[in-house]
Structures are given as C-alpha cells and as structure tokens.
Amino acid sequence: MFSRTIVVIAGLVVLAACGTDQTASPETTTPAVAASSTPAPSPSATAALSITDPWVKTAKKGMSAAFGTIVNNTGADITVLSGATPLSPKIELHEVVESKGKMVMQPKKGGFVIPAHGTHVLEPGGDHIMLMDVAEEVKPGAEIPFTLTLADGGTFAFTAIGKDFAGGNEDYQGGMDMGGGNG
C-alpha cells in the first residue's frame, strides 16, 4: 500500500512538472505580459460600437459625406455627438428632412442615437457625416480615418474607403439647401 501511494504521488509530481513547463513556455506567457502592460481600452471606445461598409463619397474639393451602418453591441443606447477626420477641418452630423415641400440637409440636433443592440444607417438622402471644406481630393479606394465622439466622453475610430457614387445626384457643393446657411 505504501509503495502504491509513492507511485501515485510520483505520477502526480511528473504531471505537475509537465504542466508547469507548458505554462512557462514563451507562447503562453508572452500574451499575458503584453495584455498586462497595455491599458485595456474602454468599452465605449472599442467593443461598444462597430461599423459596416464605411465609405466616403469621392470629391475633388468642397464637401463630401461619409456613410455606413453604425452597430451598437451594448445593452444601452449610445449617442454620437461629433466627428473628426484629417481630411476636413469641420465635420457635421447631418440629417435630411422635408421642409416646405423640399428635402433639405441640416445638422442633426442631439447627434445620432444608436439604440441598444441596434443599428443606425448613414446613407445618401438620410443621416450622414458631412465633411466641410475637404482638404484634399478623395479618390476611389482612399482610406480616410474618422474619430467619432460619444456623449459619454468616449470615442470610436474607423476607416472609410473612398467610393464613386452618383446616387440621387446629391449636391454637396453648396447647391442644396443646408437649412440654416451651413453650406
């Protein structure tokens, strides 16, 4: 009985040693070190929002707009209040509404609210991110970085791709009524 106990204990020591060697291998410790040395991003900045098919209408100068579908991956509404991109010194969150029988663009009061576990579509003829005074030509395939600022103080960054689009012949060059002289 005593020798059987020693054999079992010896077997456990061997198994424990094998487990320790695997745990100490560089493949398993490197990610833990990297994760602990990098601060965790805030949920509102990363996992809370995502975007599908982000794109920017090509333009030589003047105005353009960004589109896509913003996805809220959380159980609470998230509000986008503003945006920024190196491509344009000024960005406005816009909506298109009917006013006096005409479709007009205007700043979206209160920003874009993305419902809990829902989406908010940015599309030509609807809500969109308006780029005022585009600093350089937006060519097809160009990668344009954006950062959206959220009501909770967080941010959401994404890259949109330049895309030719005639659409409903939206005029982002100031010909469309901007509901208050913004364009």
Kindly report the average pLDDT of the chain as a whole number: 76
Nearest Cα neighbor of 91 from 8, 24, 182, 180 is 182
What phi and psi values does residue 18 have, to the nearest 5 degrees?
-65, -40
Task: Let me know if residue 26 belongs to a domain.
Answer: yes
What percentage of the chain has pLDDT greater than the value 90?
Answer: 60
Question: Does 175 reside within a domain?
Answer: no
* 137 vs 181, more confident: 137
pLDDT over threshold 60, residue 27: no
Q: Tell me: do 117 and 137 sit in the same domain.
A: yes
Asked if residue 114 belongs to a domain, the reply is yes
pLDDT > 70: percent of the chain: 66
Residue 10 has pLDDT above 50, yes or no: no
Quote the pLDDT of residue 166. 75
* CA diameter of the chain: 97
Q: Taking Cα atoms as reference points, which of 68, 70, 62, 130 lies closest to residue 95?
A: 130
Q: What pLDDT is attached to residue 165?
A: 87
In the prediction, which pLDDT does 55 show? 98
pLDDT band at 108 (very low <50, low <70, confident <90, very high): very high
Domain match, 96 and 26 both: no
CATH code of residue 88: 2.60.40.1890
* pLDDT tens-digit series, residues 30-85: 333 333 333 444 444 447 999 999 999 999 999 999 999 999 999 999 999 999 99
User: What ranges in the chain are assigned the alpha helix state H?
Assistant: 2-23, 26-37
Does residue 148 contact residue 82 with C-beta atoms inside 8 Å? yes
Q: Which domain holds residue 16?
A: 2-37
What is the per-residue burial (b if ≥16 Cβ within 10 Å, else e) of 148-172?
Answer: bbbeeebbbebebebbeeeeeebeb
Residue 25 — pLDDT band, cuts 50, 70, 90? very low
At 52 the three-state DSSP class reads strand
Examine residue 17 and state whether it is found in any structural domain, yes or no. Answer: yes
* 20 and 55 together in one domain: no
| Res 47: pLDDT | 75
Using pLDDT thresholds of 50, 70 and 90, give the confidence band for residue 21: very low
At 167 the pLDDT is 61
Asked if residue 146 and residue 93 are part of one domain, the reply reads yes
In this prediction the pTM is 0.67
Q: Per the structure, how many domains does the chain have?
A: 2
Residue 138 belongs to some domain of the structure:
yes
Q: pLDDT at position 24, please? A: 37
